[in-house]
Amino acid sequence: MKLLRLYLVILLGGLSLVRSQGQQFNSLTVLDPQFNWPSYRGTIEEATITLRPVGLYTEVGLYLTISAKDASFQVGRQLEAVLGFTLPANSIVNDSWLWIDTTIIRAKILDRWTASTIYENIVQRRQDPSILTKVTANQYSLRIYPLIMGDKRKVKINYLVPGNWTTEEVQTVLPVGILRSGQATPPPLEVRLFMDAPWQNPKLSTHPEINFVPKQDPELGTYLSAVIPPAGLSTREVILSLKAPLKNGIFLSRYGDNQEGYYQMALFPEQMIDFSGNLKPRRILVLLHYNPATALGISPSQLMSEISAQLKRVLQPRDFFNVVLSGVSPKVLANDWISASPTEIDRVFNTLQNENLSSLNLPGLMAKGMEWIKSNGKESKILLFSSSVSEGDLGVSNELIRELSLIKGNTEIPFYIVDYARHNAPNYRINNRNYWGNEYFYLNWSRLTKGDYAQQYYCCSDFNLLSASVMDAMTIEKADLDLHTSLQSGFCYNRYNLNQLGEATTLRQPILQVGRYQGNWPFVVELSGKYANNLFFDALTVPLTETHVTDSTGADTWAGNYISALERPGSSNNAIAAEIINASIQRRILSYYTAFLCLEPAQGGEPCLNCIDRSQGPLVGTQDLQDSLIVSKISPNPFRERVMIQLQFKDLIDLSNAKILVYNHVGQVVRTFSDVPKGKIQNLELQWDGRSDGGAEVPAGMYIFRLQTPTGQYSRKLMKLEN
């Protein structure tokens, strides 16, 4: 009966579930699949995320070690782990791994009904599979069996996600919400960044206190590592930022030769077309409110620095700004508008670093801003930064809205509000909905004035993201655009835009496109349209030498967009479903109609000998500890049954955070020495019996012994012979 229910879900739900976005969530559950009750939250014991920027996308490898240690099952009971997780929009899942003991099994991709039937049959026979399926556009499910109570299972999920492009940075959101799906506090997260030219200036913009450190590994090569402690994972987001590698407002990458292949393009219309003759100068009046009791973690100095940076990002020297400071009697900084040149913006906000902004007079501040705009008679917008929480009550909010409306009158004065209150804010229940702090007041006032509003409590863990989202909404410039790409002696085809293009396209936002090309370079971009009742046209050529070459992920990103287009609502029939399955299996891209299935070798799974586990290797510096040794003795080597390793250091060495591991010839850890001496020692003596962590004798061959510490590493080859 269980298989019949599954069959109906896939055949009926396969055409209906895919049309629903569903509720997005992250959950890790462990249960006995023979009974399905009781179930408990699982535990994520270890986590590593690897990142590799490729074209418009970043390749993300999510390595998780899962257990049921906090569940109330008997030790040794065979359980199933079910991980439901959300990925960012437009993600393309292209691989899944399962570790069976120390062996990596790379998933096969099959049609979903076949994969699910195999999985269910194997679970009934108590053998090792895992299955990864796509539930909605951004929601996925990974099921793993068996998870032995008292043991652990390791998995990897690999996907491609488009970056969030600006003219300055490319940002990638890391899937840390998955780490909070377990029962216990999330483990420390190591982020490993593997990048080549043209990518530069990596940083975790949400965690500026954490820096990337260069690492070196014999198997993995050179990479950058940053470790985020559990406390740093309690925020909603972790974001990697890289410098945007633009030239003349465009980035172009390709996979293929100079005749045929795939391309990825990021284009900023405002940088390609000179709209300066048609764009009206912007005028922004900044209102500054600061309450130290509610602005937890944001100092006045940080506030000034962030506003300065954002104004320089969105304004041009032709634009203008001014500032109103909060206080018992709010004051306007300058009598007239100030030129928005970078020099003037820096001068003003450097001056304000020492101002006392603390005040509870938010209504007076807002009234002063509107009065000043009305007296200046210029079309302008108000940008309010506030941490006030005193105006959220229904009666207080409605009365304040009435009074401010009288002051505003018929003058159009849009309010764009950055609510960065993060502490000591009350909750209000209004019209069967909960509102936090001043949310009810800000939402209604920004709507009435045709502005916008964002709140740090709900929107963003990072103040930079919060202010940037409001700034972008405030400075939006829309036009009717048409984009055409081709080759000078050839053409482009099968194009997919990752964002909207056409009516009311935002000039300041990028156009992200993937497609295919045929013919001879250079690449030609033609942009035409209408803005402010004026028609425009321009063309840009990009020679082959100015494109960035990517690997086969360039084809994968195109295939992912091709499959997503076929999966859109209203386009489903049997022929389309068959084409989705065919394309999905051919390119190893997960779809609604396919699944990644890992099987143990006895059931048809194949050990992946060329899979590189990028979560392994040293969490250490690059120094070779050989220089710190007086004696290094490994005997016998080669060995048959056991080998003795003796190390004597010149000085005391701290092994408190050290790891001692043995790797096989493909970089997989086969043995972890758990009895590493803690504290400072000068002599180290270990014995390896040629067995894995599971107790099985490892096959003959070459192995690597490695001592890893935060300051350096020591590695030596071991050769095991047949007994």
How confident is the model at residue 296, as a pLDDT? 67
Confidence of residue 546 (pLDDT cuts 50, 70, 90): very high
How confident is the model at residue 628, as a pLDDT? 65
Kindly report, residue by residue over 83-121, the tens digit of the pLDDT.
Answer: 999 998 899 999 999 998 778 899 999 999 988 888 888
Residues 627 and 599 both lie in one domain: no
How confident is the model at residue 405, as a pLDDT? 95
- pLDDT at 655 > cutoff 50: yes
Q: Which residues touch 470 (CB under 8 Å, ≥6 apart)?
A: 383, 416, 417, 418, 452, 453, 454
- Whether 269 is covered by a domain: the verdict is no
Radius of gyration, CA atoms only, the chain: 29
Nearest to 439 by CA among 424, 427, 451, 431: 427
Report the CATH number that the domain containing residue 333 is assigned in CATH: 3.40.50.410
How confident is the model at residue 585, as a pLDDT? 96
Q: Quick one: which H or E segment has residue 432?
A: none
- pLDDT at 215 > cutoff 60: yes
**How far, in Å, are 38, 41, 304, 600 from residue 128 at the CA level?**
22, 21, 56, 6
How confident is the model at residue 621, as a pLDDT? 38
pLDDT, mean of residues 180-206: 88
Amino acid at 396: V
How confident is the model at residue 461, as a pLDDT? 47
Tokens linked to 253: 């990458």
Of 603, 632, 665, the residue that ends a domain is: 603
3-state secondary structure 593-638: CEEEEEECHHHCCCECCCCCCCCCCCCCCCEEHHHHEEEEEEECCC
Q: Which long-range contacts (CB under 8 A, 24 or more apart) does 139-142 make?
A: 139/21, 139/22, 139/24, 139/25, 139/84, 139/85, 139/86, 140/84, 140/85, 140/86, 140/87, 140/93, 140/590, 141/82, 141/83, 141/84, 141/85, 142/82, 142/83, 142/85, 142/96
- pLDDT at 126 > cutoff 80: no
Tell me which of 18 and 399 has the higher pLDDT. 399
- SS3 of residue 309 by DSSP: helix
- The rounded Cα 216 to chain-centroid distance in angstroms is 24
Domain count along the chain: 3
Tokens linked to 312: 């320089």
- Whether 28 is covered by a domain: the verdict is yes
- Whether 509 is covered by a domain: the verdict is no
- Whether 611 is covered by a domain: the verdict is no
Kindly report, residue by residue over 292-325, the tens digit of the pLDDT.
Answer: 887 766 778 778 878 887 888 788 788 899 999 9
Residues 199 and 83 both lie in one domain: yes
Measured on CA atoms in the order 12, 15, 20, 24, is the torsion positive or negative?
positive
Whole-number Å distance between alpha carbons of 251 and 498? 15
On whether the pTM is more than 0.85, the answer is no
Tokens linked to 308: 């300065």
Residues 450 and 591 both lie in one domain: no
Whole-number Å distance between alpha carbons of 159 and 163? 13
For the CA atoms of 409, 413, 416, 419, what is the dihedral angle to 10 degrees? -30
Report the CATH number that the domain containing residue 27 is assigned in CATH: 2.60.40
Question: Does 638 sit behind a cis peptide bond, omega within 30 degrees of 0 on the bond before it?
Answer: yes
- pLDDT at 176 > cutoff 80: yes
- Whether 325 is covered by a domain: the verdict is yes
Confidence of residue 127 (pLDDT cuts 50, 70, 90): low
Kindly report, residue by residue over 357-385, the tens digit of the pLDDT.
Answer: 777 789 999 999 999 999 987 889 999 99
Average pLDDT, rounded, for the chain = 84
- Whether 266 is covered by a domain: the verdict is no
Residues 590 and 648 both lie in one domain: no
How confident is the model at residue 19, as a pLDDT? 28
Residues 593 and 628 both lie in one domain: no
How confident is the model at residue 235, as a pLDDT? 57
Nearest to 359 by CA among 403, 390, 383: 390
Amino acid at 621: G
Q: What residue numbers bound the domain in which 146 lies?
A: 2-244+564-603
Nearest to 226 by CA among 209, 237, 212: 212
Whole-number Å distance between alpha carbons of 703 and 669? 10
Residues 713 and 596 both lie in one domain: no
Tokens linked to 5: 């229910």
Is the separation of the CB atoms in 458 and 436 below 8 Å? yes
Q: Which residues touch 632 (CB under 8 Å, ≥6 apart)?
A: 626, 646, 647, 648, 714, 716
Q: Worst-scoring range by mean pLDDT, 155-169, 392-406, 594-608?
A: 594-608
Residues 661 and 593 both lie in one domain: no
3-state secondary structure 321-374: EEEEECCCCCEECCCCCEECCHHHHHHHHHHHHHCCCECCCHHHHHHHHHHHHH
Report the CATH number that the domain containing residue 654 is assigned in CATH: 2.60.40.4070
Residues 148 and 201 both lie in one domain: yes
Kindly report, residue by residue over 439-490, the tens digit of the pLDDT.
Answer: 999 999 999 999 999 886 544 445 666 777 787 777 777 778 889 999 999 9
How confident is the model at residue 236, as a pLDDT? 56
Residues 87 and 164 both lie in one domain: yes
Provide φ and ψ at 231, rounded to 5°: -65, -30
Of 546, 572, 603, the residue that ends a domain is: 603
CA angle 261, 264, 266 (to 5 degrees): 155
- Whether 403 is covered by a domain: the verdict is yes
Q: Which residues touch 2 (CB under 8 Å, ≥6 apart)?
A: 120
- pLDDT at 386 > cutoff 50: yes
Residues 298 and 223 both lie in one domain: no
**How far, in Å, are 285, 390, 436, 444 from residue 404 at the CA level?**
17, 16, 21, 12
How confident is the model at residue 435, as a pLDDT? 87
Tell me which of 401 and 291 has the higher pLDDT. 401
Tell me which of 400 and 275 has the higher pLDDT. 400
Report the share of the chain in percent with pLDDT over 90: 41
Is the separation of the CB atoms in 327 and 289 below 8 Å? no
Confidence of residue 620 (pLDDT cuts 50, 70, 90): very low
Is the separation of the CB atoms in 42 and 594 below 8 Å? no
Tell me which of 328 and 560 has the higher pLDDT. 560
Burial class (CB in 10 A: 0-12, 13-18, 19+), 247: exposed
Residues 454 and 590 both lie in one domain: no
Kindly report, residue by residue over 677-721, the tens digit of the pLDDT.
Answer: 777 888 888 899 999 888 888 888 878 888 877 666 777 888 888
Of 452, 474, 496, the residue that ends a domain is: 474
Residues 290 and 372 both lie in one domain: yes
Confidence of residue 233 (pLDDT cuts 50, 70, 90): confident
- Whether 557 is covered by a domain: the verdict is no
